[in-house]
Amino acid sequence: MCGIVGYIGNKDAKEILLHGLDTLEYRGYDSAGIYVMDDSQTGHLFKEKGRIAALRDKVDQSVAAFSGIGHTRWATHGAPSVDNAHPHQSNSGRFSIVHNGVIENFAEVRDAYLQDVELHSDTDTEIIVQLIAWFAESEELDTMDAFKKAIVALKGSYALALVDNENPDVIYAAKNKSPLLLGTGDGFNVICSDAMAMIRETNQFIELMDGEVATLSQEGIQIETLAGDIIDRAPYTAHLDANDLGKGTYPYYMAKEIDEQPAVMRKIIQNYQNEQGELEMDPEILESILASDRIYIVACGTSYNAGWVGKQLLEKTTNIPTEVHLSSEFGYNMPLLTEKPFFIFLSQSGETADSRQVLVQVNEMGYPSLTLTNVPGSTLSREAQFTLLLYAGPEIAVASTKAYTAQIAVMSILAELTAKAKGLPVEMDVAHELAIIASAIESVIDDKEIFEQLSLTHLSTSRNAFYIGRGIDYYLVMEASLKLKEVSYVQTEGFAAGELKHGTIALIEDNTPVISIITDKKTAGHTRGNAHEVISRGAHSMIISMDGLNQPEDAYVLPKVHELLTPLVSVIPTQLIAYYTSLHRGNDVDKPRNLAKSVTVE
Ligand code: F6R
């Protein structure tokens, strides 16, 4: 996790770095810092615990700086504090560094080289900068050689930006596993963890690859391998709109992103339709799936929950057996694979380290893979054989909402096209169904006050809560409970409704909130029965049910949509409930405690 930025050029570096860090705050927000070089080539370090806004207050605006590096942190080694905030410096103050990633062998490196060096933080990052200084000073290496020698000694993940006071016209950068982009412009160059952070400055970016180092000056960028071979790589254009990054009139990104979902559904239909209005995608993806005997969906968190809906869609539509796995388990405890597996990686960010370590293994084994991601050019997209984009637009709130529905929508298109390619009869016209769903989502969002009221009466003071459902609704309640717990901190569990009576019902007390999701006519009666069981034990019950299912009078009724796609609509009340509960509990809705948007550590 963590976000890093760098700038060298002809404008006010402080403001560019602070704005870049504001944009990267989704990657971590427990402390932040910048190191800038003024025009008399004196360095200035500013660090603060907490958000970028706190750092901004601390920065001396009178410093005229034209280059510098910055960092926003999600603590891995060492508690959130000013001492542990980046940039870290060598003891002489000559070198300053920012780091995204985790150095696995930092203790070994410390013991091998730095026993006599006084350390000032609990971080793995300080080891890197002290090691560079140690090589530069004890072995009299020039900065680039010292930097490379330090990198060779490190094991783990890193994106690094380094400033040397003795070479103030250059910023050094390197990466392994963690993402890092170099942006180019007229009279300036930049470094960033993702393109959004610098899109106000440039839309021309060059990817730095693992095992490469770069130097940036005002005039240009030079990339080389550790062996010193020069790399010539052309920039690509990042198609991002700086206006997408604002909250507009919304108080929180989460509210905006929930509201954007009808538009996202329509954008997905458009992007996957050809000029004749037929759904279409790279035929090689479909051929590769058809050549396989089993699909393995691998993902984390909300993407994992979307994966379960994807399994249902793929199995029911294509008859191809499909398994869903947590990346963080799969990589270390791989199940027996079939002879011809096909892997689907679901990742909003495309940067999740747990998923990437599985993809690395899948590539080593030579199996075909497809990444569904919201971020073109992300690591999982680059490293998988195929990519399908989600077209959801930037998702800034830490809690994922529109990426979940976009993942399901794109998987529904994938399922339909695979079934057609297989010659199976397809009874669902996905483009038509998704258009109906866009309107259905709109009508649920129009009822948002109902869910705000429900949050106030059922959840704003509650210690715990339960979501229950069966079949596809069980998959949905897994996501509903994750959303509620992560933004409101109400301990929430999502249960298969039939399982309650096998143990969990013991937790039901007077006024325990239990929300039942009922969209499937086969199981509607049973789940309603389970709701009655908890009501009899004092629970505060709410039923969210699809139209036409003989629901009780006080149930909230969802517009009817295709039975395989109900989570696209039934998730909306649960997102709104999570949002309003968090809001009324006074939490920072977009940046819940302890979390980060892009989880780039395993
Ligand atoms: C929850 C949430 C996380 C992510 C998970 C995977 O709201 O956002 O659970 O879904 O960290 O992230 P991606 O999809 O970027 O791989």
Determine the Cα–Cα distance for residues 123 and 102; give it in Å rounded to an integer: 9
Determine the Cα–Cα distance for residues 379 and 385; give it in Å rounded to an integer: 12
pLDDT (mean) for 45-73: 94
Residue 319: what pLDDT? 97
- Which tokens in the block code for residue 510? 């007077």
pLDDT at position 452 over 90: yes
Closest CA to 577 of 470, 492, 475, 472: 492
User: From the CA of 347, how far away is ligand 1's center (Å)?
Assistant: 7
pLDDT at position 596 over 90: no
What is the secondary structure of 438-500 as a DSSP string?
Answer: HHHHHHHHHTHHHHHHHIIIIITT-SEEEEEE-THHHHHHHHHHHHHHHHH--EEEEEEGGGG
Q: Which of 14, 177, 485, 597 is catalytic?
A: 597
Residue 499: what pLDDT? 92
Q: Quickly tell me which residue has 């990267």 as its tokens.
A: 24
Phi first, then psi: give them for residue 428, nearest 5 degrees. -105, 125
Closest CA to 460 of 513, 538, 517: 513
The ligand 1 atom nearest the CA atom of 349: 15
Identify whether the C-beta of residue 458 lies closer than 8 Å to the C-beta of residue 540: yes
> Is 2 labeled as catalytic in the residue annotation?
yes
Residue 248: what pLDDT? 78
Q: How far apart are the first and last CA of the chain?
A: 10
Beta-carbon count within 10 A of 70 CB = 33
Confidence of residue 243 (pLDDT cuts 50, 70, 90): low
Question: How many DSSP H helices and E strands does the chain contain?
Answer: 18, 25
pLDDT (mean) for 337-363: 96
Determine the Cα–Cα distance for residues 161 and 172; give it in Å rounded to an integer: 6
pLDDT (mean) for 422-436: 93
Determine the Cα–Cα distance for residues 421 and 510; give it in Å rounded to an integer: 54
Beta-carbon count within 10 A of 112 CB = 11
User: From the CA of 144, how far away is ligand 1's center (Å)?
Assistant: 37
- Compute, in degrees rounded to 10, the torsion defined by CA atoms 193, 199, 201, 202: 90
Please give the mean pLDDT across all residues of the chain.
94
Look at residue 345 and give its three-state secondary structure: strand
- Residue 303 in contact with ligand 1 by CB distance below 6 A: yes
User: From the CA of 323, how far away is ligand 1's center (Å)?
Assistant: 19
pLDDT (mean) for 494-514: 92
Select from 297, 356, 359, 400 the residue to mutate for testing ligand 1; criterion: most ligand atoms less than 8 Å from CB.
Answer: 400
pLDDT at position 39 over 90: no
pLDDT at position 241 over 90: no
Look at residue 315 and give its three-state secondary structure: helix
Over its C-alpha atoms, the chain yields an Rg (Å, rounded) of 25
- Residue 300 in contact with ligand 1 by CB distance below 6 A: yes
The ligand 1 atom nearest the CA atom of 355: 16
Determine the Cα–Cα distance for residues 303 and 406; give it in Å rounded to an integer: 10
pLDDT at position 246 over 80: no
Greatest alpha-carbon span in the chain: 80
Residue nearest (by alpha carbon) to ligand 1 atom 7: 399
Residue nearest (by alpha carbon) to ligand 1 atom 9: 301
| H or E element, residue 160 | strand 158-164
Cα angle 394-396-402, degrees, rounded to a multiple of 5: 65
Residue 242: what pLDDT? 72
Beta partners for residue 299, in sequence order: 326
- Residue 530 in contact with ligand 1 by CB distance below 6 A: no
- Residue 486 in contact with ligand 1 by CB distance below 6 A: yes
Q: Which of 2, 47, 49, 448 is catalytic?
A: 2
User: From the CA of 390, how far away is ligand 1's center (Å)?
Assistant: 14
- Residue 400 in contact with ligand 1 by CB distance below 6 A: yes
Q: Cα 327 to chain center, whole Å?
A: 14
- Which tokens in the block code for residue 555? 């149930």
Determine the Cα–Cα distance for residues 145 and 406; give it in Å rounded to an integer: 46
What letter represents residue 113's amino acid?
Y
- Compute, in degrees rounded to 10, the torsion defined by CA atoms 145, 148, 149, 155: 170
What is the secondary structure of 7-67 as a DSSP string?
Answer: EESSS-HHHHHHHHHHHHGGG--SEEEEEEEETTS-EEEEEEES-HHHHHHHS-TT--EEE
Identify whether the C-beta of residue 99 lies closer than 8 Å to the C-beta of residue 72: no
> Which pTM does this prediction carry?
0.79
Q: Is 402 left (phi over 0), alpha (psi -120 to 50) or beta?
A: alpha
Select from 26, 309, 349 the residue to mutate for testing ligand 1; criterion: most ligand atoms less than 8 Å from CB.
Answer: 349
pLDDT at position 240 over 80: no
Determine the Cα–Cα distance for residues 577 and 448; give it in Å rounded to an integer: 9
Q: Quickly tell me which residue has 């298969």 as its tokens.
A: 496
User: From the CA of 139, how far away is ligand 1's center (Å)?
Assistant: 44
Residue 418: what pLDDT? 98
Tell me what percent of the residues of the chain surpass a pLDDT of 70.
99
Q: Is 284 left (phi over 0), alpha (psi -120 to 50) or beta?
A: alpha
- Residue 590 in contact with ligand 1 by CB distance below 6 A: no
- Residue 352 in contact with ligand 1 by CB distance below 6 A: yes
Query: pLDDT of 188-217, one tens digit each?
Result: 999 999 888 999 999 999 999 999 999 999
Separation in Å, CA 229 to CA 115, 136, 205 = 34, 21, 21
Strands (E), 497-572: 513-518, 540-546, 556-558
Residue 441: what pLDDT? 96
User: From the CA of 597, how far away is ligand 1's center (Å)?
Assistant: 7
What letter represents residue 323's amino acid?
E
pLDDT (mean) for 293-321: 98
Q: Cα 245 to chain center, whole Å?
A: 15
pLDDT (mean) for 339-346: 98
Closest CA to 92 of 56, 125, 120: 120
Determine the Cα–Cα distance for residues 392 and 403; give it in Å rounded to an integer: 6
- Residue 96 in contact with ligand 1 by CB distance below 6 A: no
pLDDT (mean) for 539-557: 91
Determine the Cα–Cα distance for residues 368 and 384; give it in Å rounded to an integer: 8
Q: Cα 328 to chain center, whole Å?
A: 15
Residue 504: what pLDDT? 87
